[in-house]
Amino acid sequence: MCYVMSYIRMAMCVILFLTLFTGMCVADSKGNLALNGMAVQSSLGHPQGDAQNAVDGNRDSDYKKESCTFTKTEFNPWWRVDLGNVYTVSNVTITNRGDCCKERLRGAQIRIGNKLDNNGNNNELAATILTAPNGTQTFSFESVNGRYVNIFLPGNDEILTLCEVEVFAEKKLLINI
Ligand SMILES: [Ca+2]
């Protein structure tokens, strides 16, 4: 009886230890975290311009190939992906539209964080796209913790089009928000 009790006590200790230990762990996270994530955008400006097209794993920059997003012409358009967990994001790779209108993306901001105030566009500014990307361009920055990655294009009469957004992190933080 004594042996059984001590065995159970030990087993409980192991379970408790593992629970606490794994709760503090950080897991390596390699690869594109945005791939097939839940994506939304401020508006839909064209039937083939769905927000999900920027996380479909296809960098095709020809809008006619139906793998790019497209908002209406509006004030401060934005696009957002939910990574599903909090990561320390250090790189975002963006594929701009290539068949025309590259300059539309100039001035767009990469914002990362855990809040959805102002649709996530108030989250920390990680980088600004100062010159229109010619094809695919990677933006590296001081790591920012966050679950949401926004591409925010401030200004009047702007159209936001993204053909692919890829998000990379150093590690995953096991915090559920
Ligand atoms: Ca795409």
pLDDT in tens, 96-120: 999 999 999 999 999 999 999 999 9
> Ligand 1 centroid vs 110 CA: distance in angstroms?
18
pLDDT-derived band at 10 (thresholds 50, 70, 90) equals low
- Indicate if the alpha-carbon torsion angle 56, 112, 89, 145 is positive or negative: negative
> Ligand 1 centroid vs 142 CA: distance in angstroms?
26
> Ligand 1 centroid vs 66 CA: distance in angstroms?
8
> Ligand 1 centroid vs 56 CA: distance in angstroms?
5
Is residue 16's pLDDT more than 80? Answer: no
Q: Which SS3 state, helix, strand or coil, does residue 10 take?
A: helix
**The predicted structure's pLDDT at residue 170:** 84
**The predicted structure's pLDDT at residue 40:** 98
> Ligand 1 centroid vs 100 CA: distance in angstroms?
16
Radius of gyration of the chain (CA): 20
Give mean pLDDT, residues 79-107.
98
CA 157/CA 142 separation, integer angstroms: 31
**The predicted structure's pLDDT at residue 121:** 98
> Ligand 1 centroid vs 7 CA: distance in angstroms?
55
Contact 69, 154 (CB under 8 A): no
Give mean pLDDT, residues 121-125.
98
Q: Quick one: which of 167, 44, 50 has its CA closest to 111?
A: 167
Indicate the length of the chain as a whole number: 177
Percent of the residues in the chain that have a pLDDT greater than 90, as a whole number: 79
> Ligand 1 centroid vs 8 CA: distance in angstroms?
53
> Ligand 1 centroid vs 114 CA: distance in angstroms?
24
> Ligand 1 centroid vs 118 CA: distance in angstroms?
25
Is residue 2's pLDDT more than 60? Answer: no
pLDDT-derived band at 21 (thresholds 50, 70, 90) equals very low
> Ligand 1 centroid vs 35 CA: distance in angstroms?
10
**The predicted structure's pLDDT at residue 109:** 98
> Ligand 1 centroid vs 94 CA: distance in angstroms?
10
Is residue 22's pLDDT more than 80? Answer: no
pLDDT-derived band at 172 (thresholds 50, 70, 90) equals low
Domains of the chain: 26-176 (2.60.120.260)
Residue 72 CB contacts under 8 Å (≥ 6 apart), including other chains: 42, 43, 44, 45, 159
Q: Quick one: which of 33, 20, 164, 123 has its CA closest to 87?
A: 33
Is residue 160's pLDDT more than 70? Answer: yes
Q: Quick one: which of 154, 151, 164 has its CA closest to 93?
A: 164
CA 104/CA 95 separation, integer angstroms: 13
Is residue 174's pLDDT more than 90? Answer: no
Query: What pLDDT, in 10s, does the model give residues 29-47?
Result: 579 999 999 999 999 999 9
> Ligand 1 centroid vs 156 CA: distance in angstroms?
25
> Which segments of 25-130 does DSSP mark as H helices, in order?
none
What value does the mean pLDDT of the chain take? 88
> Ligand 1 centroid vs 167 CA: distance in angstroms?
13
H helix count then E strand count, the chain: 1, 7
